[in-house]
Amino acid sequence: MDEPILSVTDLKKTYGAIRGCKNISFDIWPGEVLAVVGESGSGKSTVLNCTSARLEPDAGTVRYATRCDGLKNIFDMSEPERRFLMRTDWGFVHQNPRDGLLMDMSAGANIGERLMAIGERNYSKIRDDAGEWLGRVEFDLERIDDLPTRFSGGMQQRVQIARNLVTKPRLVFMDEPTGGLDVSVQARLLDMLRTLVSDLGLAAIIVTHDLVVARLLAHRMIVMRRGEIVESGLTDQILDDPQHPYSQLLVSSILQN
């Protein structure tokens, strides 16, 4: 617990003249869930993509606590080293499951593929693991051999989550994981994610514009606006006592029930 699992310092990214993000610094500790909130265009996805090595920042460092060498800047690593990290220690859950799944492979194969990518060759073990993880995400196992194209959005999202968790990652990046789903499906999936993250002791960064999602899943929150962090703190502190004018506006816009 005395070293962060991910340490981000002074991250900056622009797209030509367009601002992506700047002055982004934060740490994530093992087992901690961080929500990055803000409206569309606030730079949340840029932060997620830069910290998950999917996009190289213009400046700043993203250091990850590797199992052997301690904190290492992910952009100083060799390409294979970084790829290996992304396939094993990290997970990435896209808002649209089609971006995270192999659509021409069955549900079971989608999960097996991630195991094979790290060298697992024992087919019966691969199939057992795939079944186990599909079970944990409450996926109907009778459909393990069907193609994702034949699943509902909620089922596809479950497969994507199982595919990410099968390698027992320590850090999972999620981009609006329940964004495109019906409200009823969303609630079940959120509850499932909450349980999984807590049972597995995962650290996670969740990008969302939905403060209710943040309240359910995250210990801590970062509020972004126009590419910068305007407030960060304990989730219920930001929701109960927001300090920045923009956070106050966001919180006061939540529908009460």
Partner 1 sequence: MTTSFIQIEGLSKSFTLHNQGGITLPVLNLVDLKISSGECVVVTGPSGVGKSSLLKCIYGNYLATEGSVHVGPPETALDITRAAPREIVNLRRYTLGYVTQFLRIVPRVPAIEIVMEPLRILGVDLDEARERSAKMLARLNIPERLWSLAPSTFSGGEQQRINLARGFIVEYPALLLDEPTASLDAENRQVVVGLIEEAKQNGSAILGIFHDKEVRDAVADRELLLKELGVAA
Q: Which residues bind partner 1 (CB under 8 A)?
A: 29, 32, 187-188, 190-191, 194, 198, 216, 219-220, 233-234, 236-237, 239-241, 243-245, 248-249, 252
Nearest distance, CB of residue 226 and partner 1, angstroms = 16
Nearest distance, CB of residue 132 and partner 1, angstroms:
18
Buried b (16+ CB within 10 A) or exposed e, 146-165: ebbeebebbbbbbbbbbbbb
Residue among 1 and 17 whose Cβ is closer to partner 1: 1
**Is 40 within 8 Å of 15 (Cβ atoms)?**
no
Query: Which of 155, 173, 231, 223 lies closest to 48, judged by CA?
Result: 173
Q: Which residues contact 257 (CB under 8 A, 6 or more apart)?
A: none
Residue 4 phi, psi (nearest 5): -65, 155
Closest separation in Å from C-beta 185 to partner 1: 11
Tokens standing for 139? 């996926």
> Which residue's structure tokens are 């994507």?
160
Beta carbon nearer to partner 1, 144 or 197: 197
* Nearest approach, Cβ of residue 243 and partner 1 (Å): 7
Q: Which is nearer to partner 1, 30 or 84 (CB)?
A: 30
Residue 79 or 240: the one with the smaller Cβ distance to partner 1 is 240
User: Residue 14 or residue 237: which is nearer to partner 1 going by CB?
Assistant: 237
CB of 46 to partner 1, least distance (A): 23
Shortest Å distance, C-beta 20 to partner 1: 26
Q: Which is nearer to partner 1, 126 or 171 (CB)?
A: 171
* CA atoms of 30 and 32, how far apart (whole Å): 6
E strands, 43-150, where? 59-66, 70-73, 90-93
Give me the phi and psi of 30, to 5 degrees please: -50, 135
